[in-house]
Amino acid sequence: MTDPLPDMDLEQIERRTLRALDAAPPPWVPFLETKGGLGGASFIRLGNDPDVDQEMYLDVYDGGEQLRSPVRLDPIVEFVACAPEDVIRLIAEIRRLRGQPALCTLILRWAGGIVVI
């Protein structure tokens, strides 16, 4: 990609991020079978309250076959769980480099556990 990311595209990414985090507030915490699971499926816990059952499970298919091996599935689950913080930080860095305020900074302060930039 040789062309800079247009401001309109960056704003659309920010809006999608805001909508996703409004629907499922952070933190998104991965619980991975490859890192001490209990024999169930890997998942992402949504929000700060472990007593509230707010979980995201991913069904991933490769060539029509569902991935069931935690060795193959867990990197995907971890990537998705880390995406909100990663996207917010990347947007903030792009805005910083452009000398523009990051629209997602308020989310970073509002969402406990996510780095304030």
Q: In this predicted model, what pLDDT tens digit does every residue of 44-80 receive, in sequence order?
A: 999 888 788 899 999 999 999 998 888 999 999 999 9
One-letter amino acid of 76: I
Specify if 116 maps to a domain: no
**Cα(46)–Cα(24) distance, rounded to whole angstroms?**
6
Containing domain of residue 69, as a range? 7-110
- Of the pLDDT bands very low, low, confident and very high (cuts 50, 70, 90), residue 102 is low
Could you read off the pLDDT of 11-56 as tens digits, one per residue? 999 899 989 988 888 889 999 988 876 778 899 999 888 788 899 9
What is the total count of domains within the chain? 1
102 is a domain residue: yes
Tell whether 75 is covered by a domain: yes
Report how far Cα 106 is from the mean position of its chain's Cα atoms: 16
Residue 16 lies in a domain: yes
- pTM, 2 dp: 0.79
Q: Is residue 38 part of a domain?
A: yes
Place of tokens 């490769």: 62
**115 in a domain, yes or no?**
no
Residue 2 placed within a domain? no
